[in-house]
Amino acid sequence: MSTIYILWLRQLKRYVRSKARMIGSIGQPLLFLVALGYGFGPIYQKAGGGNYIQFLAPGVIAMGILFTAMFMGIEITWDKQFGFLKETLVAPVSRMSIMIGRTLGGATVALAQGVVIFLIALAIGFHPQFNFLWVVFIFMLLISMLFTGIGTAIASLIDDMQAFPLIMNFLVMPTFFLSGALFPLEGLPPVITLIAKSDPLSYGIDGMRGALTGVTAFGFFTDFAVLAAITVVVLAIGAYLFSRIEI
């Protein structure tokens, strides 16, 4: 447990010390909230969708978590590149403890990022229903764990530090844009609907949107069950791949 705590704390310190990362990770969600929220808001309202910021905010919160969580894996490739990971792996502790500590640290950072964006959304004009606020944090935590696990799994397979951001962008952007974060999932073409239902982020955003606005496409139980199951599978795969890293 001490190893997990030390690695968890190390991840937090790394992120807090990097002021540029903290500011940069807020910039894109803020742009989406302001530019899309107010830019497309009148069009969305005229189409009968209501207040677009109410619809958009849960998706943007999930976006902040997604980007932060996935790119936490780049620290593994960085440590592999400069030999820091080797020093950690040769320590007399299990690789499982190392993986859990790093994953929990990354997920905590991503969760904190989501909370910051949530507060920004409140300041911009988002008015959630607080009856199920605790459910929101459960979904935020699951999203954080899931995509930190994916980032860890991919980083465990890659030795080229420059290749990681390219692969992440290839995965992150489709995952976000096809998740229903920016548009309702009802009435879409069958192919897009199938892709959206295959996207795990769709269930995280739908669960958050249901808890914050009372509108859900799949239902709370389905959202939680699917997201939790995929998270467990991904973390297991990530742990296996991390244990196979050669030093």
Whole-number Å distance between alpha carbons of 244 and 117: 36
pLDDT at 161 > cutoff 80? no
Share of the chain above pLDDT 90, in %: 18
Q: Which residue has the higher pLDDT, 64 or 14?
A: 64
Mean pLDDT over residues 211-239, rounded?
90
What is the extent of the structural domain holding 222?
2-243
Chain position carrying tokens 């593994």: 76
Mean pLDDT over residues 198-202, rounded?
93
pLDDT of residue 144: 92
Vertex 59, ends 55 and 60: CA angle to 5°?
110
pLDDT of residue 8: 57
Q: Which residue has the higher pLDDT, 186 or 94?
A: 186
Residue type for position 116? V
Residues 6+ apart with CB under 8 A from 82: none
pLDDT at 228 > cutoff 90? yes
Mean pLDDT over residues 151-162, rounded?
78
pLDDT at 52 > cutoff 60? yes
pLDDT at 12 > cutoff 70? no
Whole-number Å distance between alpha carbons of 117 and 114: 5
111's enclosing H/E stretch is helix 95-124
pLDDT of residue 68: 83
Q: Which residue has the higher pLDDT, 4 or 36?
A: 36
Number of domains in the chain: 1
- Residue 70: band (very low, low, confident or very high) from pLDDT cuts 50, 70, 90: confident
pLDDT at 111 > cutoff 90? no
Residue type for position 69? A
Share of the chain above pLDDT 70, in %: 80
- Radius of gyration, alpha carbons of the chain: 18
**Angle of the 220-243 helix axis to the 133-157 helix axis, nearest 10:** 30
pLDDT of residue 200: 93
**Angle of the 19-31 helix axis to the 52-71 helix axis, nearest 10:** 150
- Residue 155: both structure tokens together: 């980083």
